[in-house]
Structure 1
Amino acid sequence: MKICLTGGTGFLGSRIGLFFKENGFEVVNISRQDFKGSPKTIADKIEGANMLINLAGAPILKKWTSSYKKTIRDSRVETTKLLVEAIGLAKNKPSIVLSSSAVGIYDDVYEHDEFSDRLGDDFLASVCKDWESALAPLTSMNVKLAVMRIGVVLDAKQGALAKMLPSFKMGLGAVVGDGLQSFPCIHINDFLSAIWYILKNPESNGVYNLVAPDMVSNQYFSKKLGQKLNRPVLFKASKFMMKMVFGDGASVLLKGQKVKPQRLLDLNFPFQFPTVDAMLDDLVRK
């Protein structure tokens, strides 16, 4: 079985690539360099692949200058458009494309399952909308499409949790803003298992929220992390401080969407770590 992967050098891409290699797949990475060439170059790599996972996109958690906002958008939207064009050129197309998006597409007021139409109106939401829209031509190519709206993926070695751990271990952990914003997250093992669950299900299509069922706030998560480490969480990272560091990008930390994985629940997906408590019990070593 051959699987193609974009964004294969990032945190999630590297973990997904390793997961599929360990399960006997041939994993073909489509690199940034490939996207600088012609769609035919990418089509040649895609040729004969059974599945394709699209994770391309520049990191979100950086200071959002005007130029970096363009990088965030282009690395997702324009790259996906080029990828879709390349799939159209391939004679033997993948049977399914699994493409990433983010829970940031939703507003931060209401509770959302995959059928919610209460979408956000900020920069990140607009990028997600355009990102998903760029996939639309696949529907006329006889290629199944599944879209992953991903929350915060928790892993002790990479990603958001790994960056939080050093300060929390020193007793310098902080609640972000007022801490009331939701913190939709998922354990790395459940994230990988969900991807495989979606890919192997012959009925898979449409949107899937890749988050755990447990809906908690940033404050709850931060306090629970402190408890697991036997450290106090006494500080608050103010909105002003976050905006000084990240500019408009602070909204990623200061806002949060109330998201539930209804479609995975309907498929009886066996979450190994359905709660924040269970996730941190597994990931955090005192």
Structure 2
Amino acid sequence: MVTERWNGVLLMRRRACIFALVAAASLATASPALSASPAVAALQLALFQRGYYSGPFDGIAGPQTRRATKHFQRRHHLATDGVAGPRTRRKLGSWARYELGHRLLRRGRRGWDVAELQFLLRRSGIFVSIDGSFGPITQAAVVGTQKGTGLKADGVVGPQTIAVLRRTRGRIFRLGIQAEVRGQIDRWSRHYGVDSRLACALAWMESGHQPGVVSSTGAWGVFQIQPATWDYVEHVLADRRYPRNVEGQVRVGLLFLRHLLRDFGDTRKALAAWYTGPARVRRYGIGPRGRWFAEDVLAIRVRC
């Protein structure tokens, strides 16, 4: 009983965070004066790293951010205008050399532009840390975003990925869809006894929590289920049919994930089997592609 109540509290908190993101995005769209800037979030992180700022990385150039910027400028004999212009950026060192879009970003990169990217990812509904380091969590967030918007899902951030992340049109709708998907995953994960965070991370990696995504190979929906896999779940695992809506997509995906987890008895092997196929994993082991996929899903799991 206590465990059930605690799980209910966690679910309510997670849903509150999701709907807070939707509300924040709505406010930013409706009130341009209050919109947050990725560059300001990167500045806040840079000032925090140097001991000048202790506020949130919210991208809003409010009084606390301006005071911290002026303090930094005074200490480095710059004009104290509270604006991070070219001279101020140079004093922040090589970490602040690149703005978002001035170079390709991939795993291992560090700097101002990575912090801008992470801010945009958070605004798009995935809870990455804004730390300026392009690690496995950021990579997984990028891959999910790319899949959910029909881009090549290589985890490399170039002009197309940046344009998608900067786009404001339709953001409220997309966040609303993500909230619905996460709610269904939470509900049915408990029903089927599957780790809801693992399922959330897997769905993000597969579709960016967008149920309308269809791959070139015919996989579709929240979990990118192939038609043959859908038939297998309906006729072998469940012996019933499921609707082709968000709830049905989530239930079929969770049933197949539970099947793999039970079959392989190991989370990494099950995730590799999901991505490369059960027969391949049984014959050859996880393999490099399966290992990459499993590591990224497990990295993003802590943020779901």
Which category describes the TM-score, using the shorter chain as reference length? under 0.3
TM-score by length of 1: 0.25
- Structure having the higher Rg: 2
TM-score by length of 2: 0.24
Higher relative contact order (CA 8 A, sep 6+): 1
Higher helix content, 1 or 2: 2
Higher strand content, 1 or 2: 1
